[in-house]
Amino acid sequence: MVLRSESSDGRIAQLVEHLDHNQGVTGSSPVSPTISLGQLVTEELRVHWELHGIDEQAVALERSLAGHPERRRAHEQRVAAARGALATLDQRVAESVRRRRQLEGDAASLLTQQRRFEQQLLSVTNQQQYEAMQHEIAAVRSRRDTLETEALERLEADDRDQAARPEKARALEQAEADAAASAAELAAEDSRLRTALAGLDTRRQSLAASLAPPARQRYERLRSGRGGQAVAAIVQQACGACHRALPPAGLQAARRRETLLSCDGCGRLIMLAPEEPARP
Ligand SMILES: [Zn+2]
């Protein structure tokens, strides 16, 4: 556990100078120039706690924003799937119709051939020719039957596809409508989140500006290196960010609320919530 002395002499000198300089001007905060060290540090803790709250909110908003592309993709995938299903059906029907026309043409040719054989049957002169012709006729008829059966099966399948088409078309329309609604919703939410983030950023900057330069630099450095969270609350005797438990000495120090502590696990600044009553 590292107990950092956050109020270097330079910091105190600067704050006192600041207070002296502004006292007669602002008249807002009844700060005594003989302010104690404890109170000064408490103010620094308070600022860090407020920064902690801002950063928690900002991280949550950023996370929402980061989820938007995935939500958009989910809708786009649904539209693509519905469009694909409809296109597959249409393509299958189109191919089947072409194939049926070909089958029907071939069957018609076979029928012509069969009729010709049947005519020739009338002019055969012996039993052998008769049987040969009968054989030819049976073969042609059998081939024609096969083609006609396939054509019929295709017709039935095409009917089923055509019957299923309206539902698939509706599914596509619905998916497109949902995607459009969701896109509009996400765009509005995007802009709302970005506005909120900009507001948080403004508050963060003005708060951070009230810190002494070393403290401010440390906060900024931690914030950029720790996923936007430089300060963590101590929750159930552990760092609220990485959950590293605090040793008893660290907890005692945290309860005094005099200094900022640094987490051994993640390096963030850690502190107890100011409103939490200090225990002995
Ligand atoms: Zn930690």
The domain segmentation of the chain, as residue ranges, is 2-271
- Express each pLDDT in 226-244 by its tens digit: 999 999 999 999 999 999 9
Distance 161 CA to ligand 1 centre (A): 61
pLDDT score recorded for residue 43: 87
Contact indicator for 104, 151 with CB cutoff of 8 Å: yes
Percentage of residues of the chain with pLDDT beyond 90: 79
Distance 232 CA to ligand 1 centre (A): 7
How many Cβ atoms from other residues are within 10 Å of residue 280's Cβ?
Answer: 4
Distance 257 CA to ligand 1 centre (A): 18
As given in the structure block, the two tokens for residue 271 are 């502190």
The pLDDT of residue 41 is above 70 = no
Q: In what order do the strands lie in the sheet with 2-3?
A: 2-3, 261-262, 269-271, 231-235, 238-239
Determine the length of the chain: 280
pLDDT score recorded for residue 71: 93
Average pLDDT score over residue span 113-127: 94
pLDDT score recorded for residue 123: 92
Distance 265 CA to ligand 1 centre (A): 5
Average pLDDT score over residue span 131-154: 96
- Three-state DSSP class for residue 3: strand
Distance 15 CA to ligand 1 centre (A): 29
pLDDT score recorded for residue 258: 85
pLDDT score recorded for residue 40: 56
Fold for the domain defined by 2-271: Helix Hairpins (1.10.287)
Q: Which residues contact 143 (CB under 8 A, 6 or more apart)?
A: 110
CA distance 195 to 77: 29
Distance 251 CA to ligand 1 centre (A): 14
Q: Which residues contact 203 (CB under 8 A, 6 or more apart)?
A: 54
More confident residue, 46 or 16: 46
